[in-house]
Chain A
Amino acid sequence: MGCGADCVTAGPSARPLPLASSYGLPGERMSVPDGVLVERVLAGDVEQYGVLVERYRAEFARYAASLCGDRDTAADAMQEAFIRAFDSLSTCRDPGRFKAWFFRILTNQCHNARDRQRPRVSLERVAGLAAETRDPVEGAEIRRAIEEALDALTPEQREAFVLKHVEGRSYAEMAELLDKSEDALKMRVHRARETLRRLLEPVR
């Protein structure tokens, strides 16, 4: 955002204001279709954006945490994604498909956040770590082995695996969200399983 001469001084506005959910019946608000909400926001009623935020923060919080590996990183990624989506809402060509459009923004933010947060690990290191953690009481080490095995997946494999096996979504739903064919997504999930098995097999 550039600063031109047509700007005025902003007053301090750091205190979070009440959520849009403070207004109206929650049930009514949450049943309004995405397309209607997007149109209302674009018409100037930004409080309606709170409904979209509440709706998709709840739906994708687990997905974001699974991609990022921890809650704080996921929270940052979700905030960035919602704000980016708000800033470019007028470019959402089909408001009725806000969910899939936002999902792609969120996925990119999660991958970026994870890349900033954690260096990529070598497959040899993951396999070595898994081999060292045969003792089931070493729960923390096993968690670390799983975390690093997930980090060894490609971003596309990780998001497909999480959607399939953590979120429990069907391939049809995944194809809708990711705008890929079901066959392509099956291939990603299969490869993710094979990599995870190869890296985590020594834990068994």
Chain B
Amino acid sequence: MSGERGFTGEMHRYLDGEPISLDGDVRSEAEHIVNGVRDYAVSLQVPGPEVDAAVMAVVRERRASGRRRAFWRWFVEPQAVRLRPALAAALVAAVVGLTLVVARDDAGQPPEVAGTELVEPRTVLVRFEFRAPHAEQVAVAGSFSEWDESGIPLTLNPATGLWTVTLPLTPGAHQYLFVIDGNQWVPDPAAHAQVDDGFGQVNSVIVVGPRGVVRS
């Protein structure tokens, strides 16, 4: 043990990569701590391609919702329209004629308005976790994937036995189950709520808030 002794300037320059020649003992002393920490860091598992898939799922959803917003913005905002007078007159005549026909068919009936709910299609990244170190494969299926039987695959961290996947979900309540090895449907033991599925089993429930990552 070296007490309060620190690295010498030469040791630092050597570790910085400068062409400094150190005696064997001094060199190993300089390298010992640095190499130990580096070996530890290099031994850590690193994120893999599952990150790419999760990111691109969100990016594609953002693009789709952006297009819908852009269309709606175009639709409701004032637009400059260039029209030939002759075509304008023809359009007016057509609209008047159509109005008269509709008025004759639906006299006294108020027009119906479609009840489309206009909601922000924002999504929140939700991380699903399931510990099953001996499973061959784990997937999650739920109301957000229309209960597709094959489910959305989770990725195993062999060191922890934890299967995970991060999905973009819209705010609100979602029901889901994990699918183990393709045939065993189980609720999430860590879910904050379970509900009767109407067939004698239970589904797990996750409620996604409007901001931040919600864990199952």
Contacts and interface: CB of A to CB of B under 8 A. Distances in A.
B1 A201 contact: yes
Interface string A67-110: 00111101110111011001100000000000000000000000
A183 to B, nearest CB: 11
B16 A186 contact: yes
A53 B113 CA distance: 44
Contacts of B149: none
Contact of B6 (A57, A198, A204): A198
Interface in B127-163: 127, 142-146, 148, 152, 157, 159-160, 162
Given A79-B166, A83-B58, A7 B121 contact: yes
Given A12-B144, A190-B12, A196-B33, A75 B47 contact: yes
Interface in B17-37: 17, 32-34, 36-37
Contact of B7 (A61, A149, A164, A197): A197
Question: For chain A, what secondary structure do more than half of its interface residues adopt (helix, strand, loop), or is it mixed?
Answer: helix
Nearest to A149: B37
B169 to A, nearest CB: 6
A171 B121 contact: no
A14 B168 contact: yes
Interface residues of B, number: 74
B17 A72 contact: no
A4 to B, nearest CB: 8
Interface in A1-22: 1-10, 12-17, 19-21
A46 B76 CA distance: 26
B84 interface: no
Given A7-B120, A50-B52, A146-B40, A13 B125 contact: no
Contact of A1 (B73, B122, B167): B122
A202 B33 CA distance: 11
Interface string A46-76: 1101100110010001101110011110111
Pick the most buried of B17, B40, B121: most chain A CB atoms within 10 A of its CB: B40
B166 A62 contact: no
B37 A72 contact: no
A122 interface: no
A193 interface: yes
A20 B59 CA distance: 11
Contacts, number: 216
B168 to A, nearest CB: 7
A83 B16 contact: no
A193 B12 contact: yes
Given A64-B46, A76-B213, A83-B125, A170 B17 contact: yes
A19 B52 contact: yes
A197 B30 CA distance: 9
A62 B42 contact: yes
Contacts of A78: 47, 51, 55
B54 interface: yes
A2 B48 CA distance: 33
Given A166-B41, A170-B17, A16 B56 contact: yes
B46 A204 contact: no
Contacts of B166: 75-76, 79
A30 to B, nearest CB: 13
Interface of A: 1-10, 12-17, 19-21, 44, 46-47, 49-50, 53-54, 57, 61-62, 64-66, 69-72, 74-76, 78-80, 82-83, 86-87, 143, 146-147, 149-150, 161-162, 164-166, 170-171, 186, 189-190, 193-194, 196-198, 200-204
Question: Closest 9 interchain pairs by CB?
Answer: A10-B121, A3-B120, A61-B46, A75-B47, A71-B45, A7-B120, A16-B53, A6-B72, A66-B41
